[in-house]
């Protein structure tokens, strides 16, 4: 069954700031979370709630609410900055 995907305002701004080369790949990865919330290569975050999805040098940090079938994208950024 399909999940609803929500992108927090902060993550929307981060997504909008991506280059035209990276933007479509990240957006595709986020859209695919509706069908597969934990695709191959995804890792559970250590020390805090959520999951990390790798898209090249960029990371999408998100939470999954299985009870309500909802994915919330919290943060999008370059791998060196996303965990700050």
pLDDT (tens digit per residue) in 34-60: 999 999 999 999 988 999 999 999 999
Domain 4-78 carries which CATH code? Answer: 3.30.2310.20
Q: Is the pLDDT of residue 82 over 90?
A: no
pLDDT tier for residue 2 given thresholds of 50, 70 and 90:
very high
Angle at 77 between CA 34 and CA 16, to 5 degrees: 75
User: CA-CA-CA-CA torsion for 37, 38, 41, 44, nearest 10 degrees?
Assistant: 110
pLDDT digits (tens, 9 = 90+) for 8-28: 999 999 999 999 999 999 999
Q: How far apart are the C-alpha atoms of 5 and 7, rounded to whole Å? A: 7
């Amino acid at each position: 069954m399909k999940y609803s995907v929500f992108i927090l305002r902060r993550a929307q701004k981060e997504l909008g700031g991506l280059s035209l080369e990276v933007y479509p790949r990240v957006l595709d990865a986020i859209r695919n979370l509706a069908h597969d919330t934990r695709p191959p290569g995804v890792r559970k975050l250590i020390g805090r709630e959520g999951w990390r999805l790798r898209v090249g040098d960029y990371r999408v940090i998100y939470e999954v609410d299985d009870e309500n079938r909802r994915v919330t994208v919290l943060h999008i950024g370059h791998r060196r900055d996303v965990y700050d």
